[in-house]
Amino acid sequence: MTVLVTGGTGSVGGAIVRALVEQGEAVRVLARRTSKTHQLELLNVEIAYGDIFDTTSIESALDGCDTLFHAAAMYDLWGLTEEELTRAAVEGTRNALDAALNAGVGRVVYTSTAATIGEPRGEIGTEETVHRGYFLSKYEKAKFEAEKVAGSYLDRGLSLSIVNPSQAYGPGDFKPSGRFVMDYVNGRFPGLSKGTISLVYLDDVGRSHAIAASKGKVGERYIVSGDIVSIREVAALLSRLSGARVPPTFPDFMVGMHSYFGEVVSRFTKRPPLLSTETFRGISHGLQVDGSRAATELGVEYTSLEEGARHAIIWYWQQGLLKRKPVCAIED
């Protein structure tokens, strides 16, 4: 049988597609005609043209499929409105799962985010954590609402599991994590903020979805996260692997002001700020989640941060996105 992946042209969706292909699955990807599908076609993936805002096109793409991986969403922490994020997350999820019900799909794996865990400041979140009750970003709020929509389909008989990746990074990532790596290695950061973050390698996210389709329990959430680290620890590792200098750490109020004025400038330049206010809010709050359930119940094996960062830096260098050849590329 064939499996359908929505969002397969994105970084997380692309990782899911690669994992499924490696597993020997016949993969079909729902994509708009304006999407870049060349890399998927190199994997001999079938492209079904459609849109998550068009339920009929999703149902058509699901013809002959026994599993749906719904990873399509809009994601960034700058430049997107709450309406845009919510429509893609909530309406897109509702359309995809309605189509899955109508098509009689036997299994659904829904891609959420660890941001929806909503752990209070200073705590490490798990799948049982009660959300703190307020949101650190528009994206978190949109995905929180979308995850509730996804969960409601369990009562309608849909066999669904939820995967909650933490901050994903790795080759092919051009979202906030990827931009941070490139900007840092290129020496664009004048300073660092305090705070912690949970990270997971992109390929681990892809494999966790593939495994969840067969081993995941219906109705369960699985946080996928390999490391909880401070921003200083991330910076030290990137510097050691790339040769970039480690900038000083500044107090929160200074970093917060920098993020605010950076966004003001970005409104004119239309380029993402080095640090958005929502990114600063999340890091200063601390994004800390525990990915051990996925490791124990699904058998997910996490790539070490050093290995993952090395692969990412070398990939960005190979794409011509770094100013200087990083130390780790010279060593290889």
- pLDDT in 10s for each residue of the chain, 332 residues: 799 999 999 999 999 999 999 999 999 999 998 888 888 888 999 999 999 999 999 999 999 999 999 999 888 877 888 999 999 999 999 999 999 999 999 999 999 999 999 999 999 999 999 999 999 999 999 999 999 999 999 999 999 999 999 999 999 999 889 999 999 999 999 888 899 999 999 999 999 999 999 999 999 999 999 999 999 999 999 999 999 999 999 888 888 888 888 888 888 888 888 888 988 899 999 999 999 999 999 999 999 999 999 999 999 999 999 999 999 998 66
Strand partners, 31: 49
- List % helix, strand, coil for the chain (3-state, nearest 5): 45, 15, 40
Using DSSP's 3-state secondary structure scheme, residue 276 falls into coil
**Per-residue confidence (pLDDT) for residue 332, from 0 to 100:** 64
Is 324 a domain residue?
A: no
Is 295 a domain residue?
A: yes
Is 310 a domain residue?
A: no
Is 130 a domain residue?
A: yes
Residues with a catalytic annotation lie at 139
Is the model's pTM score more than 0.85? yes
Is 129 a domain residue?
A: yes
Per DSSP bridges, beta strands 196-201 and 221-224 are unpaired
Is 279 a domain residue?
A: no
Q: Identify the CATH number of the domain in which residue 140 sits.
A: 3.40.50.720
- Distance in angstroms (rounded) separating the CA atoms of residues 274 and 259: 8
Of the candidates 328, 205, 47, the one whose C-alpha atom is nearest the C-alpha of residue 39 is: 47
Strands (E), the chain: 2-6, 26-31, 46-49, 65-70, 107-111, 160-165, 167-169, 196-201, 221-224, 227-230
Is 277 a domain residue?
A: no
Question: Radius of gyration over alpha carbons of the chain, in Å?
Answer: 19
- Distance in angstroms (rounded) separating the CA atoms of residues 86 and 92: 9
What's the number of domains the chain is made of? Answer: 1
DSSP 66-82: EEEEE------SSS--H
- Distance in angstroms (rounded) separating the CA atoms of residues 47 and 185: 35
Is 47 a domain residue?
A: yes
Domain that includes residue 40, residue range: 2-172+198-226+289-303
**Per-residue confidence (pLDDT) for residue 99, from 0 to 100:** 96
